[in-house]
Amino acid sequence: MSLIIKNIDCLVTCKGSHLKKGKEMQNAGIIENGYIVIKDDTIFEVGNGDGYKKYVDDNIEVIDGKGKTVTPGLIDCHTHVVYGGSREKELSMKLKNVSYIDILNNGGGILSTVRETRKASFESLVSSAKNRLDIMLEHGTTTVESKSGYGLNIETELKMLKVNKYLNKIHKIDIVSTFLGAHAIPEEYKNDRKKYIDTIINEMIPAVKDENLAEFIDCFCEEGVYSVDEAKKILVAGNKMGLDIKIHADEVESIKGAELAGEINAVSAEHLVAASDEGIKALADNNVVAVLLPSTSFYLMLNNFARARKMIDEGVGIALATDCNPGTSPTESLQTVMTFACFGMKMFPEEIINAMTINAACAIKRENVIGSIEAGKKADICVFDSKNLDYLIYHFGINAIRYVIKNGNVVVNKEN
């Protein structure tokens, strides 16, 4: 054995390697006075009381969990963490009530980040994204999904995905890659969107597959961006070439993006602030993970959040993520997202932790390896300075991490 965490006041296991849907999200598998025994990079045994004692010897590191809440390593299953530049100039436009889609259609928003990302070297994209990943790890995130989508040409889309691949190799955080060539229509194709869509299907997706640079394909399906028909064409083409489907759906307007997600068997549908009742039913019926991004809702200043309570009542499985990006959610912290999930969407602490661990693992098809604390799973674990789970959500605006354990190693240690 290599590491033991003992006497844990609140051990939140999130046990079970499947999508927790509806009411099942309320069970986070909490053990009082729990312990975890780790062997190399894997969880060996989980229990409560003194059961860990038989494994203690001089060579084992022991962490005391008294006064702590311990959870699976947090999984950020929707990010745009690789990008050039920043967009603080849009803040004053937003304060003057210029809408997000209007900023985009006037060459700002995503398109301004596209200009910066095209200009940026591979090295500078690595360096800025690495800084963001460092902050994520400090806040308890141990696995991250990362999308392309600020290239919108083959050269820069591949550059972004290669940055993901490189970061996955050098950074402690594991990175799962998503191809999002359909994030906006690039300015040079403004008057011929069909041609750009053909380029995505006939050139970009084959190149991504050729070099094995992504597992998922995504599309920003939204009024004024990609229509439902266009999204379907792109996503189905990607799926035929071996990429699993994700979709940015019904973020601002209800255009039946959630319904499409059900129809084409998407692994996940994301945002869903404006998803219709039928759309919510389609997600539940087809086991599509609803990835909700409440820090984006907050940041867009639209005064409305996705209908998490309705989704839970209808039996949907919800995951939560930061959406870390330079326009609508410039944050690396899933702890910040906990605050908005609770105070904006009225999600309960148990639901929130399931949504950032096992259900987030389902959104990136890693539920058999990570997302819960049980024997056989990877030892990715957060130790929070928090006497119980409610306290973790109640005390907001701080970083409550005491230790982060990744692959069985203590990689963040705030003990002084």
Return binding residues for 4-imidazolone-5-propanoate: 87, 150, 183, 251, 328
Amino acid at 27: N
CA distances from 295 to 55, 57, 97, 116 (A): 42, 45, 19, 24
Residue number of the CB atom closest to ligand NIG: 327
Residue number with CB closer to Fe ion (328 or 335): 328
Q: Which is nearer to ligand NIG, 331 or 372 (CB)?
A: 331
Q: Is 250 in the site for Fe ion (CB under 5 A)?
A: no
User: Which of 164, 296, 322, 331 contacts ligand NIG by CB under 6 A?
Assistant: 296
CB nearer ligand NIG, residue 56 or residue 301:
301
Q: Please state the residue numbers annotated as binding site for Fe(3+).
A: 78, 80, 248, 323
Q: Which is nearer to Fe ion, 177 or 386 (CB)?
A: 177
Separation between Cα atoms, residue 368 and residue 356, nearest integer Å: 15
| Nearest to Fe ion of 142, 178 (CB atom) | 178
Number of residues binding to ligand NIG, judged by CB under 6 A: 13
Per-residue contact flags (x/-) with Fe ion for residues 273 to 312, judged by CB under 5 A: ----------------------------------------
Nearer to Fe ion, 43 or 247 (CB): 247
* Min separation Cβ 242 and ligand NIG, Å: 24
Asked whether the beta carbons of 115 and 150 are under 8 A apart, the reply is no
The site map against ligand NIG for 212-251 (x = CB under 6 A) is --------x---------------------------x--x
Report the alpha-carbon distance of residue 370 to residue 143 in Å, rounded.
9
By CB under 5 A, residue 157 contacts Fe ion: no
* 90 lies in the binding site for ligand NIG (CB under 6 A): no
Among 113, 141, 295, 359, binds ligand NIG (CB under 6 A): 113
Cα 306 from Cα 314, distance rounded (Å): 14
Positions 146 through 165 that interact with ligand NIG (CB under 6 A): none
Binding partner selected for residue 317 from ligand NIG, Fe ion, none, CB under the kind-specific 5 to 8 Å limit? none
Between 323 and 362, how does the x/- string for binding to Fe ion read (CB under 5 A)?
x---------------------------------------
301-360: which residues touch ligand NIG (CB under 6 A)? 323, 325-328
Measure the CA–CA gap between 243 and 245, rounded to whole angstroms: 6
**For binding to ligand NIG (CB under 6 A), which residues are involved?**
80, 109-110, 113, 220, 248, 251, 296, 323, 325-328
**For binding to Fe ion (CB under 5 A), which residues are involved?**
323
